[in-house]
Chain A
Amino acid sequence: MSVLSLAASSSSSFMLSSSATCSSSPKPPFSSSSKHPIKTPFVGFSVAPPQKLWIPSTTDLSFNNGGSPRRSFEVFSSKTKDFVRVPLDQRWMFEDYEVDGPDIWNNTWYPKAADHVNTDKPWFIVDATDKILGRMASTIAIYIRGKNLATYTPSVDMGAFVIVVNAEKVAVSGKKRNQKLYRRHSGRPGGMTVETFDQLQQRIPERIIEHAVRGMLPKGRLGRALFNHLKVYKGPDHPHEAQMPVELPIKDKRIQKQK
């Protein structure tokens, strides 16, 4: 949508008569196109950069809207504020109902490729020290799958990345520490291996959290891809400082192990 703001078309005179679609003057016009999740390019349409006042976009306010697609003032939507008219020489490309832009209110939004690039996804970090395993894993799975976002789509990976540190300190209640069994089977007869929670924590502590979260993610191609967005580490360090992970907000009140 902001992508459309290409070089001025020949119908610039027509453009000046259109209603206000202003590029925000502080930033260079059209450079923000790479940041906007909705990148639905509108075919054949080029909007001349208008020389009008800059009206601050309401979406510029810091509004944590849970990943809903941020739209700039340049976007068109036929029914809300921005009202861009198709230039006369391109009108032949559009049907009557399309001249004012794509219909977003009668069609359910489906994310385009630019709405879920991995490099733009948020990263979260959880410290697993003394957190109840299942409750933490449940919240992690919700964030990885993207179910906390209003833009949730079941067929598309819209979720975030989650880092878990101090995996060896995760807690379980009751007698699970010695009684919870982890089983795996090699496929051959007699190939079942059974381990307790304690033994597995001594051996490979990351696997406990991975096992828990994998069981809560969907099973299938997409689920396996989602699982790769979980990063579990044994100590307090992790190599993802460059992604600037944010603390994962956990709303469960019973997640801390009661001493």
Chain B
Amino acid sequence: MNKGKIFKLAKGFRGRAKNCIRIARERVEKALQYSYRDRRTKKRDMRSLWIQRINAGTRIHGVNYGNFMHGLMKENIQLNRKVLSELSMHEPHSFKSLVDISRSAFPGNKNVVPAPQKKGLQILV
């Protein structure tokens, strides 16, 4: 019956939500809504985790994530973030060589021309 299915989905819920049909039905509906939503957010969360791991991995070598990815894009290296994060964890030497490639392609923006300073009251002097 429907109740049987609901209770099957309500396994592990807290308190009466696993035992009593009125409460379990509500909680199961909510759980299914969350799982629908989270199948979509899981993709975002995973990518965010990869980016955090890559960031940590590149900062060990003195480069931050933004500059690293910019350098890779310039060299047309199309490795995706999932693979890059796994490389940073499991293949540190290969990852270091990638960081070096990126650094040579884009050494950072320390040499950028500074924005023109406002003159202010200095003009009057």
- Taking Cβ atoms with an 8 Å cutoff, the residues of A that contact B are 58-59, 63-66, 68-69, 71, 77, 80, 104-106, 108-109, 147-154
Q: How far is the CB of A37 from chain B (nearest CB, A)?
A: 10
Q: Give the bracket for the number of chain B residues in contact with chain A.
A: 20 to 34
User: Residues 37-77 of chain B: 1 if any A CB is under 8 Å from the residue's CB, otherwise 0?
Assistant: 00000000010011011101101100000000000000000
**Chain B residues within an 8 Å CB radius of A153:** 49
Bits for B17-28, please: 1 = Cβ < 8 Å to A, else 0: 000000000000
Cβ-defined contact, A108 with B86, below 8 A: yes
Contact call B89/A68, Cβ cutoff below 8 A: yes
Look across to chain A and name the residue whose beta carbon is closest to the beta carbon of B46. A108
CB of A109 within 8 A of CB of B93, answer: no
**B residues near A64, Cβ cutoff 8 Å:** 60
- A148: chain B residues at CB < 8 Å are 56, 59-60
Lowest 6 A-B CB distances belong to which pairs?
Answer: A150-B57, A65-B92, A66-B60, A150-B88, A68-B89, A150-B89
CB-defined contacts of A108 to chain B, threshold 8 Å: 46, 49-50, 82, 85-86
Tell me, rounded to whole Å, the shortest Cβ–Cβ distance linking B89 to chain A.
5
Q: Is B31 an interface residue (CB 8 A)?
A: no
Selected contact of B86 from candidates A58, A105, A147, CB within 8 Å: A105
CB distance from B8 to the nearest CB of A (A): 27
CB distance from B69 to the nearest CB of A (A): 15
* Majority SS at the chain B contact face: helix
Given A63-B92, A63-B93: A109 and B56 interface contact (C-beta under 8 Å): no
**B110 interface residue per 8 A CB criterion:** no
Q: A155 to chain B: closest CB distance in Å?
A: 10
Residues on A with beta carbons closer than 8 Å to the beta carbon of B90: 68-69, 71, 77, 80, 104, 109
A-B contact pairs, 30 of them (CB 8 A): A58-B93, A63-B92, A64-B60, A68-B89, A68-B90, A68-B92, A77-B90, A80-B91, A104-B86, A104-B90, A106-B82, A108-B50, A108-B82, A108-B86, A109-B90, A147-B52, A148-B59, A149-B56, A150-B53, A150-B54, A150-B56, A150-B57, A150-B85, A150-B88, A150-B89, A151-B53, A151-B89, A152-B52, A152-B56, A153-B49
Whether, in the assembled complex, B83 has its beta carbon less than 8 Å from a beta carbon of chain A, the answer is yes
Q: How far is the CB of B87 from chain A (nearest CB, A)?
A: 9
Query: Which residue, B56, B86, B88, B91, has most C-beta atoms of chain A within 10 A?
Result: B56
Complex Cα distance, B92 from A71, in Å, reads 10
Most chain B C-beta atoms within 10 Å of own C-beta, residue among A58, A71, A151: A151
A109 to B56, CA, bound (A): 15
The interface residues of chain B lying within 8 Å CB-to-CB of A80 are: 90-91
**Complex-state Cα separation, A65 to B49, whole angstroms:** 18
Minimum distance in angstroms from A77 CB to a CB of chain B: 7
